DNA sequence: TTGATTAACTAAATCGTTTTAGTAAGTTTA
DNA sequence: TAAACTTACTAAAACGATTTAGTTAATCAA
């Protein structure tokens, strides 16, 4: 195992100084008045041995790693992983690498991850924050580390963010059900004070009230999502309790659980019950019935996130104002929200 | 913006040498005969300012980054992203971070990524290799960088890998259809010489032949997967051409496309057609009909991958033999493979 | 009492870059 | 023809850690 050649090795081999080699390799040959023949000599040699600088050393010296962190609730979630892919491509073109990680929406884990990546001197953070990490975000900002929040944000923190208009999306989805002559429209959501969720609830409640309808809400505590009792609760809410004619789900994984419950309980119910869910999934257009979904603009979200981040990175001007983008989601109407009664 | 304190800053503050601080922080205080009071003094102070060592500097000095790379075809694919999450957790406990990236099954991109991460001195690679990167893998091994291949491997390369028994899984799936009195069983796969795919085909063909049935195969070129003409081809194959009574899909995304085609063409066909697919998906048990799938043991795969990697990392012994794990997949039987005729 | 040990520290090299501040020649300029 | 520039390079500091090889003072053995 021959160790990888360093600048020093190259300099020695060519009988020039390390400085010269470094200048040439960084394209500063002309500017630093290195003669054309020497430039050629260096480049020819480094090409021939396929020299690659050690990024760790570069990072230590320059303080830049060209690494960005994308921290979300769960990277195996379709919504997040799709956006991750989109951002990865854009970042890649600009010479940045994006690292993905999952915080499970837990503060403890978020803090550990921020700590861990700060130690590694990453250049910027794109974060779907868990509820209680305002201090950590603030501290990053204080240290002039670029941060862009995503999907949700802190209302009393002046930080760049990219989100969708959840209230509007939710309102449209609810109105769509109302327009289709549903009236006992339930809303199943997770218990959360994070604004992406509270805004979705608000959109629903307001739409119901302004149509003179009674809001019917079931809130599942986050930590019980995958518990068996959640299924029972959902069943009770939809089937036994309120005589719902339709349900609007605030998030994808609740939809999955609920559809399963409904299927297990009463195969035919699905044909009658109106269903709209937040967040689209590739399999929703294959399902029977195909499922109406609020679709977030993944491409635009990814692009907006990365552009915001790149702007922050390129503006050494400390005084750059935070950019706040609010995109619109669209409703993809499929069969599940058509009233068959 | 006060810069983060370095060992030097701490040493100066405490009027001791950098060496002493470093020893204490690395838990070598006792061993290096640092007095208990000094140890306490250092620890108290570093705790009070919440000192965190600069990992970049540590990495440069030690040559270790504690970073592993998990490179797959597409990280937004359920199969890969689930395994990523499982590995992330295990790695995390051992002090490693896992970086995820997608190579799109393209050699060019794989090479770039390997290059890029090698420059960054990552400690190890877990790779679902694209077809033509044997040389790059070999070169990593030569440089004593731990590599574990995953999902597929190179038969003439003696490298650790973790895979499932694709032939066996495929054979069982085919036999299951045969046992359910299907006989015109089609196999839709992608055109590929990679062994995860050829083995799936082999399992199917052998099972068909030994049942005295004629193999009926449709191969889609990888680059055409998302093209419209692929839908046409699938439609022709299933519906117009061979009078199939069932189909076995070698991969999840083909299933999605096909189910869509079938749905568009003839709603009722789905009720009659037998369907089995490779790779499970959470929504398959919600679909109507629920879909029978070959389920790879995600948890075990993730664990096995990470354990193999950790073994390689911990054995400085150059002579460690590559570990080759072959896990069994299971068939999850649901409604789509029950013969209703 | 003196040479060897041990305890308790530290100076300086090192990892592989980048970059500042040179220097030694050659070329202009007045 | 000496002062002032240019050209074409290079020495060495710096980034922030780890680690080897010391040093000094105290303790011990004989």
pLDDT band at B75 (very low <50, low <70, confident <90, very high): confident
Angle between helix B55-62 and helix A55-62 axes, rounded to 10 deg: 140
Do A119 and B54 count as a contact with CB atoms less than 8 A apart?
Answer: yes
- Does the bond joining A282 to the residue before it have cis omega, within 30 degrees of 0? no
Do B283 and A115 count as a contact with CB atoms less than 8 A apart?
Answer: no
Q: Which residue is nearest to nucleotide C16 (CA to C1')?
A: A57
Q: Which string of b and e fits B322-333 if b means at least 16 CB within 10 Å?
A: ebebeeebebbe
Judge: domain B166-296+331-337, CATH 1.10.730.10.
Answer: no
Nearest chain B Cα to A83, which residue? B76
**Does pLDDT of A66 surpass 90?**
yes
Q: Which of A117-131, A310-324, B289-303 is predicted with the least confidence, judged by mean pLDDT?
A: A310-324
By C1' distance from the Cα of B17, the closest nucleotide is C10
Q: Which of A227-241, B3-17, B143-157, B201-215 is predicted with the least confidence, judged by mean pLDDT?
A: A227-241
Do B285 and A78 count as a contact with CB atoms less than 8 A apart?
Answer: no
**Does pLDDT of B278 surpass 90?**
yes
**Does pLDDT of B8 surpass 70?**
yes
Q: Which two tokens stand for residue A196?
A: 């992406």
Do A97 and B102 count as a contact with CB atoms less than 8 A apart?
Answer: no
Using a CB-CB cut-off of 8 Å, the residues of chain B touching A1 are 142-144
- Does the bond joining A334 to the residue before it have cis omega, within 30 degrees of 0? no
**Does pLDDT of B317 surpass 70?**
no
**Does pLDDT of B109 surpass 60?**
yes
Nearest to B283 among A88, A99, A283 (CB): A283
| The Cα angle at residue A282 between residues A245 and B203, in degrees rounded to 5 | 125
**Does pLDDT of A1 surpass 70?**
no
Q: How far apart are CA B318 and CA B304, in angstroms?
A: 21
Q: How far apart are CA B21 and CA A314, in angstroms?
A: 36
Domain segments of chain B as ranges? 7-53, 65-163+299-327, 166-296+331-337
pLDDT band at B185 (very low <50, low <70, confident <90, very high): very high
Q: What CATH architecture does domain A7-53 belong to?
A: Orthogonal Bundle (1.10)
**Does pLDDT of A2 surpass 70?**
no
Cβ pair A203, A250 in contact under 8 A: no
Do A75 and B57 count as a contact with CB atoms less than 8 A apart?
Answer: no
Judge: domain B65-163+299-327, CATH 3.30.70.20.
Answer: no
Q: Which of A180-184, A195-199, A220-224 is predicted with the least confidence, judged by mean pLDDT?
A: A220-224
The distance from CA A27 to its chain's CA centroid, rounded to whole angstroms, is: 36
Same fold, A65-163+299-327 and A166-296+331-337: yes
Average pLDDT for chain B: 94
pLDDT (average), residues A76-98:
90
Using a CB-CB cut-off of 8 Å, the residues of chain A touching B283 are 256, 281, 283-284, 287
**Does pLDDT of A304 surpass 80?**
yes
State the smallest CA–CA distance between residue B145 and chain A in angstroms: 10
pLDDT, greater one: B34 or B319: B34
pLDDT (average), residues B53-77:
94
pLDDT band at A271 (very low <50, low <70, confident <90, very high): confident
**Separation of A38 CA and C22 C1' (Å):** 21
- State whether the Cα torsion B264-B265-B270-B273 is positive or negative: negative
**Separation of A30 CA and D4 C1' (Å):** 23
**This prediction's pTM:** 0.90
**Does pLDDT of A238 surpass 60?**
yes
pLDDT band at A107 (very low <50, low <70, confident <90, very high): very high
pLDDT (average), residues A48-75:
95
pLDDT, greater one: A281 or A241: A281
Using a CB-CB cut-off of 8 Å, the residues of chain B touching A4 are 143
pLDDT (average), residues A317-328:
85
């Amino acid at each position: 195992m021959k160790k990888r050649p360093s600048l020093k090795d190259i300099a020695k081999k060519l009988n020039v100084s390390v400085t010269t080699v470094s200048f040439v390799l960084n394209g500063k040959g002309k500017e630093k008045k290195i003669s054309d023949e020497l430039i050629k000599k260096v480049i020819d040699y480094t090409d021939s041995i396929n020299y690659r600088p050690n990024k760790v050393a570069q990072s230590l010296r320059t303080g830049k790693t060209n690494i960005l962190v994308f921290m979300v609730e769960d990277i195996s979630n379709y919504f997040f992983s799709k956006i991750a892919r989109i951002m990865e491509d854009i970042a890649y073109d600009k010479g940045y690498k994006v690292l993905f990680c999952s915080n499970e929406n837990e503060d403890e884990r978020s803090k550990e991850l921020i700590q861990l990546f700060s130690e590694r001197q990453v250049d910027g953070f794109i974060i779907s924050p868990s509820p209680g990490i305002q201090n950590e975000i603030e501290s990053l900002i204080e240290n002039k580390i670029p941060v862009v929040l995503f999907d949700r944000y802190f209302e009393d923190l002046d930080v760049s963010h990219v989100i969708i208009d959840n209230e509007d999306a939710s309102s449209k989805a609810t109105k769509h059900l109302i327009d289709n002559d549903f009236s006992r429209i339930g809303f199943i959501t997770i218990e959360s004070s994070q604004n992406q969720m509270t805004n979705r609830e608000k959109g629903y409640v307001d739409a119901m009230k302004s149509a003179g309808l009674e809001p019917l809400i079931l809130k599942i505590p986050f930590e019980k999502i995958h518990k068996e009792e959640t299924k029972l609760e959902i069943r009770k809410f939809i089937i036994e309790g309120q005589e719902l004619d339709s349900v609007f789900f605030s998030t994808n994984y609740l939809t999955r659980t609920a559809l399963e419950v409904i299927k297990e309980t009463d195969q035919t119910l699905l044909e009658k019950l109106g269903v709209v869910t937040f967040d689209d999934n590739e399999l929703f257009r294959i399902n029977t019935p195909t499922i109406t979904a609020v679709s977030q603009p993944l491409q635009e979200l990814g692009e907006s996130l990365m552009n915001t981040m790149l702007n922050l990175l390129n503006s050494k001007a400390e005084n750059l104002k935070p950019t706040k983008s609010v995109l619109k989601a669209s409703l993809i109407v499929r069969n599940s929200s058509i009233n068959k009664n």
